[in-house]
């Protein structure tokens, strides 16, 4: 892209875990632009976690294996793993967030003010003294996100942040991510199976299959490929399938590629139908 400096670039990156004959990433080409929010989907074992670990440089830094290609990242990266509970080491929320800051040699006053700042950001004021293990799933995820944010990363990577959550927890986490997108123009990559949420939230979508990026498209163009996505085992939101069915069966004169990404957009499409029915009478 002209005129904009990518925050992160993977150029022809391939990766094989040590002791495995399987190529977990195959010739990945990827750039993240500042403020861009990217959704990452793919079947179990497709390489989502591996790709996020590579973006964060944990692969190859902390893993054995064969790496080729080039990774460049200009800014600090925060990463939130799938199951935060197994990562918690602090006895309190405050301690949990402080660890990564202490590790960077930050002084106590700065640590304290950052803890306050990120807890407010994730909507957990007053939680500083609580045990991170005695929180709801959504709250635990938000503590994990707060910890990642405390170092003020430019890029936030999240690995299936809502896979263990009920619908309320899922909404909480995506509402928080939306706020981060709006208020701080955070560059975000989120691996998730929650395609309804991704459709509303992401600017760009990636489909990874067997370590290869099959699709890398703006969100609407991505979901317009509903048939191909379904063939790859990806859940396409019902409202998109319904919209395309209405178009294909001639019930509305919409463009099949112009799929609705939110309930509000579907509502617009319905208004269109109502209007057309009215006109045809």
Ligand X SMILES: Nc1ncnc2c1ncn2[C@@H]1O[C@H](COP(=O)(O)OP(=O)(O)OP(=O)(O)O)[C@@H](O)[C@H]1O
The two tokens of residue 78 are 């925060």
Size of the site for ligand X (CB under 6 A): 12
Q: How many other β-carbons are positioned within 10 Å of the β-carbon of residue 195?
A: 20
Nearer to ligand X, 193 or 220 (CB): 193
The answer to whether 42 contacts ligand X (rule: CB under 6 A) is: yes
Stretch that binds ligand X, among 38-46, 94-102, 213-221, 222-230 (CB under 6 A): 38-46
Stretch that binds ligand X, among 14-22, 120-128, 131-139, 271-279 (CB under 6 A): 14-22
Stretch that binds Mg ion, among 43-51, 197-205, 225-233, 241-249 (CB under 5 A): 43-51
CA-derived radius of gyration, the chain? 21
Residue with token string 């269109």: 272
Min dist CB 108 to Mg ion, Å, is 36
**CA 189, CA 10: separation in Å to the nearest integer?**
14
- Select from 47, 138, 254, 260 the one that contacts ligand X (CB under 6 A): 47
Q: Which does 44 bind (CB under 5 to 8 A by kind): ligand X, Mg ion, none?
A: ligand X
Half-sphere exposure of 18 (CA within 13 A, CB side): 7
The answer to whether 48 contacts ligand X (rule: CB under 6 A) is: yes
Q: Which does 50 bind (CB under 5 to 8 A by kind): Mg ion, ligand X, none?
A: ligand X
- The interaxial angle of helices 93-102 and 108-121, nearest 10 deg, is 130
The answer to whether 46 contacts ligand X (rule: CB under 6 A) is: yes
Q: How many other β-carbons are positioned within 10 Å of the β-carbon of residue 49?
A: 18
Please give the angle made by the CA atoms of 153, 157 and 161, to the nearest 5 degrees: 125
Q: How many other β-carbons are positioned within 10 Å of the β-carbon of residue 100?
A: 16
The two tokens of residue 197 are 């949420």
Stretch that binds ligand X, among 37-45, 108-116, 135-143, 258-266 (CB under 6 A): 37-45
**CA 121, CA 118: separation in Å to the nearest integer?**
5
- Select from 13, 15, 42, 49 the one that contacts Mg ion (CB under 5 A): 49
Nearest to 247, CA basis, from 236, 235, 238, 259: 259
- Select from 8, 36, 41, 49 the one that contacts ligand X (CB under 6 A): 49
Q: Which does 22 bind (CB under 5 to 8 A by kind): ligand X, Mg ion, none?
A: ligand X
Nearer to ligand X, 45 or 218 (CB): 45
Nearest to 97, CA basis, from 83, 121, 77, 116: 116
The answer to whether 24 contacts ligand X (rule: CB under 6 A) is: yes
- Select from 9, 17, 99, 262 the one that contacts ligand X (CB under 6 A): 17
Residue 29 is inside which H or E element, if any?
A: strand 25-32
- Which residues are near ligand X by CB under 6 A? 17, 20, 22, 24, 42, 44-50
- Which residues are near Mg ion by CB under 5 A? 48-49
């Amino acid at each position: 892209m002209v005129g904009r400096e990518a925050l992160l670039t993977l150029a022809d990156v391939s990766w094989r875990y040590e002791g495995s004959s399987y190529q977990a990433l195959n010739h990945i080409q990827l750039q993240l632009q500042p403020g861009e929010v990217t959704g990452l989907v793919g079947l179990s074992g497709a390489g989502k976690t591996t790709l996020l670990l590579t973006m964060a440089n944990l692969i190859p830094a902390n893993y054995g294996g064969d790496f080729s290609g080039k990774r460049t990242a200009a800014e600090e990266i925060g990463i939130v793993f799938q199951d935060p509970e197994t990562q918690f080491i602090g006895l309190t929320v405050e301690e949990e967030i402080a660890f990564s800051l202490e590790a960077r040699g930050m002084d106590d006053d700065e640590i304290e003010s950052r803890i306050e700042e990120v807890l407010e950001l994730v909507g957990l004021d007053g939680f500083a003294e609580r045990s991170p293990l005695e929180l709801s799933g959504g709250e635990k995820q938000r503590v994990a996100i707060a910890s990642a944010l405390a170092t003020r990363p430019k890029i936030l990577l999240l690995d299936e942040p809502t896979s263990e959550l009920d619908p309320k927890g899922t909404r909480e986490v995506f509402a928080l991510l939306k706020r981060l997108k709006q208020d701080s123009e955070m560059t975000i990559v989120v691996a998730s199976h929650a395609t309804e949420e991704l459709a509303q939230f992401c600017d760009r979508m990636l489909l990874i299959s067997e370590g290869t990026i099959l699709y890398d498209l703006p969100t609407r163009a991505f979901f317009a490929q509903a048939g191909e996505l379904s063939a790859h085992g990806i859940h396409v939101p019902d409202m998109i399938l319904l919209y395309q069915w209405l178009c294909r069966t001639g019930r509305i004169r919409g463009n099949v590629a112009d799929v609705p990404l939110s309930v509000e957009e579907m509502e617009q499409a319905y208004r269109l139908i109502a209007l057309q029915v009215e006109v045809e009478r």
